[in-house]
Chain A
Amino acid sequence: MSTDTTGATIDTDQLAKDERRERIKRAWSRLSQSTLSLVGFAMIGLLFIIAIFAPVIAPYPEDAAGAIDFSRASQAPSLEHPMGTDTEGRDILSRVIFGTRIALLMGFVVLSIAISIGVTLGLIAGYMGGKTNAVIMRITDIFLAIPPTLLALAVIAATRPSLWYAMIAIAASWWTWYARLIQGEVLSIKENEFIEASRSLGAGWFHITFREILPNAIGPITVKATLDMGFVILVGAGLAFLGLGAQEPTADWGLMIATGRAHVRTYWWIATFPGLAISFAVLGFNLVGDGLRDVLDVEVE
């Protein structure tokens, strides 16, 4: 990918690579000294293990798919059903376990779409400059003028409620931060002497984008995306709670809380445990995100 130059360039490439690797190594050693970050990593690791092995771990995997058995409806937590059963007799623990899959899927899909949109728009705005830049950044301002939850709600109004539309709706309101970051990065890097230098050596925009701009932005993006995983899971749960996300019989945490809402006076366990799961997941991503922010020393607010 390097330019049409001599062996010297390859050496500097190697130097830059070594330097980056060294920085990652140092960051990791600092990160491993922060107890809270390690706890966060452990929590996220646990979530992934639960998500992957859900069919093996869950005591009643068929309940996650929506098997109904009214003969054991609304049972309080017991040895047989550690988190109790819901009003349709489904084991809540099994559904909470399978809900991990939906939550992680939600976070990854939403952020993949949002980051792709944001990075693309940011690059276009930064490179083109002038009117294109102004138009894209004004659009970003518009999206920033209302809370993301509300924008996602409005986008959902234009579709049928489903898990996938909810993900698209959240992603559609989530790209702004990434667009701003990349646009700023392009603008500031344009001024740099080393870009001037690589340009004069014949480096094209492709090289500059992938070797100079994105490596610089990868730190802030990682931190922001980690913290956003938690927020996206929260917003997704909220939409499902309102009936505007995943639909029955999907084992979705937000949806499970919605069923429990009608029974707060009687069956406290139905809403309590899925909410604990959400808090656990969000807390894990927040702890890791905070740790990464301190270690990589980036501002993301």
Chain B
Amino acid sequence: MSYSDYLIRRAIQAIPVLFGLSVLIFTITRVIPGDPVRLAMGPDVADEQVDAFREEMGLNEPLHIQYVEWLSGVFQGQWGLSLRTGNNVLFDIITRLPATFELVLVALGFAIVLGIPFGVIAGTNKDHWQDHASRITALFGVSMPRFWVGILLQVVFVGMLGLMPLQGRIDGNPPPHTTGMYLIDSALALQWATFVDAATHIAMPAFALGLATLAQIMRLIRSDMIEEARKDYIMAARASGIPQNLIHYKYMLRNAFTSSLTVIGLAFGFLLGNAFLVETVFAWPGMARYGVQAIINQDFNAIVGVVIVVGFAYVVANFVVDVLYGTLDPRVRLRQGGE
């Protein structure tokens, strides 16, 4: 079996997982006690109207019929109505997805861009002060609740220093819509004032969200660097007088980075999961906050939609990690292919 066959098999394996996830979440949300439809329509609406609406949404059908109808709707882009917004859930999610995606990407980018050099520095100065400082930062980084870090940032930079905006995505007008991600859109439109506006808004939520991931990446790179440093080829490289930084960043980091990839892939999922809290703290108008609102209001179609999208993103992220893993490390490619 070749490596590409292996990847195809992995991709096919993801289908039953997503299918099972949809059954699970669909069932959970349909057995909600109480009456979400009544909740959404308010106490002033007559019982007949509530019943009619319930009939219209197909809620009087048996569960399995409801599921089949929902599933066939999903493939036609009809994800059911949100009780709260009255829109097709797919529409609600698509309009909010770029905001969440932008936040997660900036958080991840920030964790990688800072985590890797800090990890290299800690690993190449084992047991010196740089290493101890990185250990303590990492310990606190993974122990602090991310939503609380967000609130602390608000306390310091908004309440005490008055330097940053409290919440939201932007103060002025949003840039012309291309990707829906304000940083990219404003850069494409060369609107630098808008870019700065968006950047100051995303800085604090992205930092709060990415801090724990930064810590994880930093520690992993550190331990892998220490392991690499013991190997013969590094000793040979040092003996041949190759500059220190070249050895660290070109030879050792490439090998050390491979194992960090798994963490980065998993981090994508963790970041999405934690975005639910961070978006709430910063009133970030993304999909995750929409999901939280859906849960609070028992907006069942919206809950199912959000969970499916996050599950899909999670599965895709893990798959991409697999592909990158094979690309960066030929041994993985050969091993999986050789099965």
- By a beta-carbon cutoff of 8 Å, the part of chain A in contact with chain B is 138-139, 141-142, 145-151, 153-160, 230, 234, 237-238, 241-244, 254, 257, 260-261, 264-266, 268, 271-272, 275, 278-279, 282-283, 286-287
Contacts and interface: CB of A to CB of B under 8 A. Distances in A.
A156 B298 CA distance: 10
Contact of B160 (A154, A268, A279): A268
Interface of B: 16-18, 20-21, 24-25, 28-29, 31-34, 139-140, 142-145, 147-148, 151-152, 154-155, 158-160, 166, 269-270, 272-274, 276-277, 280-281, 291-292, 294-296, 298, 300, 303, 307, 310-311, 314-315
B182 to A, nearest CB: 24
A109 B193 CA distance: 51
Contacts of B147: 238, 241, 257
Give the interface SS of chain B, mostly helix, strand, loop or mixed. helix
Contact of B25 (A139, A154, A260): A154
Nearest to A281: B143
Across the A-B interface, the 3 shortest Cβ-Cβ residue pairs? A147-B273, A275-B148, A142-B20
A157 B32 CA distance: 7
B155 A264 contact: yes
Contacts of A286: 139, 142-143
A240 B273 CA distance: 15
A257 B151 contact: yes
Contacts of B21: 142, 145-146
Contacts of B151: 257, 260-261, 264, 271, 275
B292 A278 contact: no
Given A160-B34, A278-B145, 16 more contacts: A138-B17, A146-B311, A147-B273, A149-B273, A150-B291, A157-B32, A157-B303, A242-B295, A244-B295, A244-B296, A261-B151, A272-B155, A278-B144, A279-B145, A283-B143, A286-B142
10 contacts: A149-B277, A150-B310, A158-B28, A257-B147, A264-B159, A266-B159, A271-B151, A271-B155, A275-B145, A278-B148
A147 B270 contact: yes
Contact of B276 (A160, A242, A278): A242
A230 to B, nearest CB: 7
B63 to A, nearest CB: 13
B148 A257 contact: yes
Contacts of A271: 148, 151-152, 155
